[in-house]
Structure 1
């Protein structure tokens, strides 16, 4: 079987905004409106669903969220769906979605964090590519040199190559104040930092590997391991004869929780076909001398493949735009770190 890519995003297309997990509280909706205006300024129509402005742990009952997400993903005029951000409980949608209907005329599903709880099953179950990149609330930020916005990658045709390079700088602090500065558009990348190999003694030991890319947020997608929504061995057999590149985002769990989650994913076969594993930079806490890097080494260090940490694929800005299903080449060394994605069937 082959990977299927949504039609490239074009000016005049509609972008849907729905909340499969958490909506936006009233005090932060100025940012939501501004982010929608930024997307409009790029030449797209924006359709904001009711769930996007519904406050609470979840943006309404699961049936309502599932229906609005389905309506947008199956509307032929909507060519990308970009939730405001993630949340906690997108997992309650999975049994309510008609996966065949969502795959019939694929639309780009864009975002990260809890959005990946829906993105990843869509790719694993149907072979439809999804886009792990900025959420809507991140869209107004200037994209650093070397990286691309989700709108750039979603516009690429099948067969195109998309190249991104680590800027080797990141933001050391937390989130901006969207309530008082809803139009903030610049990330302060105030700290130097590059990708780092954890599977060997030299952090810049060269890497040059290729494989089908997939991934998501550890705190959410680890619960899919061993279920029909996280059948990575099947995906590898059907879509990844070249092997896989696994991209993982660690958001907030302590190091021991992360180690347990990675072991669960390993026991479920998530890394059996891996040619490399990418793990995000994170501000999540260490635990009594057991670091986040230790957690990754403990679970994945013995795989016998390159394991790269501090990659821009998590909750620490800036963000790579990564296509679940793309054929990815990962190169790393002392001078630069590059990921090239080919939108290959």
Structure 2
């Protein structure tokens, strides 16, 4: 059974700590803009000490683990949202008290290296977590029909969150937050929609399962450990089957292929009703594209495999709740995609 943290309400505290990379001094003005965005929603941000951006991580592992734990266990803190991901959140996993974190669930939100923490929390405890915008992305206006993480964590348990495919995305470059820390209007320079990549692509689609997934470069390192036991999650928490979502941050097409096969060999797709693969900026190779990688590794699973999904490092970002009962539909005539998430146990 999936357990959902209490929905956020005005006056609630949002903890801000960096369990992976901190914030460089030149980007603190952007952090302040993000904090003001929380305040504009009636929320009270509370900054931790582990935010230093001068090195690869914000603080020693014991300090990062202790601060993350303290925030997640503080009854006043109803969500914890890191500034962004990074590189080495994995060194926290054996330092966290997973039973204690399950006792009074608090929303943990983010993507990229934060998925190193999101996925284990849901797999080990059955507590829902949210793969969505990081704090530094929060000031951006989220285009219809996507939802901000702020709206999703405010939704009552039992409600349904409906999103869909964005008509445009950002394929090139990033905003310069040092030059303009207050930017809120995203620049989407390319058109596109979601794409069927499985061997039986075509026609209408309607498929349901419990969402689970994250960033490939982070979560493939959890395979073979208790923290990445997705087959266990399926057995204990997803009798409806799973919808596995994955996104490549930067790996080239060959590395994407290897990572997808690693997950396949580990049984991650044995209970899958569908697989969603995020749009990526990772490089294609001569004669081998990112779509080729997905088709080769997953195209014959016998379930729908959907590529170019708005998930991860190519904005905009869907807000995906690990553990939610999701339904993916495709109206082939109108080429309209929809993803609904029921926040039900």
Tell me if TM exceeds 0.5: yes
The 10-residue stretch of structure 1 (124-133 or 50-59) with the greater mean CA deviation from structure 2: 50-59
2:219 paired residue number = 221
1:207/1:331 contact within 8 Å kept: yes
Structure 1 residue aligned with 2:26: 27
Asked if the contact 1:169–1:192 (Cα under 8 Å) also holds between the matched residues in 2, the reply is yes
Aligned residues, how many?
Answer: 343
Q: How does 1:202-217 map to 2 (within 5 A)?
A: 202=201, 205-217=203-215
1:337 alignment partner in structure 2: 337
Query: TM (normalized to structure 2)?
Result: 0.98
8 Å CA contact 1:197, 1:205 repeated in 2: no
Please report how far the alpha carbon of residue 302 of structure 1 lies from its aligned counterpart in structure 2 after TM superposition: 1.2
| Map of 1:301 onto structure 2 | 299
Give 1:55 shift: 2.4
Deviation readout 1:290-337 (Å, 9 max, x if unpaired): 100111111111100000000011111101001000000001234211
Please tell me whether the aligned partners of residues 54 and 60 of structure 1 are also in contact (alpha carbons under 8 angstroms).
no
For residues 161-181 of structure 1, give each alpha carbon's deviation from its aligned partner in whole angstroms, at most 9, with x where no partner exists.
Answer: 110011221112121101111
CA distance in 2, matches of 1:218, 1:22: 18
Deviation digits for residues 94-153 of structure 1, max 9, x if unmatched?
Answer: 011000111110000000000000000000000000000000000000010111110100
Query: Does 2:152 match 1:161?
Result: no
Q: Secondary structure at the match of 2:281?
A: coil
Cα-to-partner distance string for 1:217-268 (whole Å, 9 max, x where unaligned): 0000011112110111111011111110001011100111111111111111
Deviation of the 1:201 alpha carbon: 6.5
CA distance in 2, matches of 1:205, 1:250: 27
Q: How does 1:96-107 map to 2 (within 5 A)?
A: 96-107=95-106
Q: Which residue of 1 aligns with 2:195?
A: 196
CA root-mean-square deviation: 1.0
Residue of 244, 264, 278 corresponding to 1:246: 244
Does the Cα contact within 8 Å between 2:200 and 2:304 map onto a contact in 1? no
Determine the C-alpha separation between the residues in 1 that align with 2:76 and 2:325: 28
- List gaps (5 residues or longer) in structure 1: none
TM-score where L is the length of structure 1: 0.98
Q: Deviations over 1:71-98 (max 9, x none)?
A: 1100000000000000011011101100
Question: 1:229, 1:55 → 2: CA distance?
Answer: 29
Q: Does 1:89 align with 2:88?
A: yes
Aligned partners of 1:29 and 1:53 also within 8 Å: no
Match of 2:155, SS?
Answer: coil
Divergent runs of 4+, >3 A: none
How far is the alpha carbon of 1:190 from its aligned partner?
2.3
Describe how 1:1-345 pairs up with structure 2 within 5 A. 2-200=1-199, 202=201, 205-334=203-332, 335=334, 336-345=336-345
| Aligned residues of 1:52 and 1:83 also touching (Cα < 8 A) | no
**Residues 52 and 59 of structure 1 are in contact (CA less than 8 Å); yes or no, is this contact kept in structure 2?**
yes
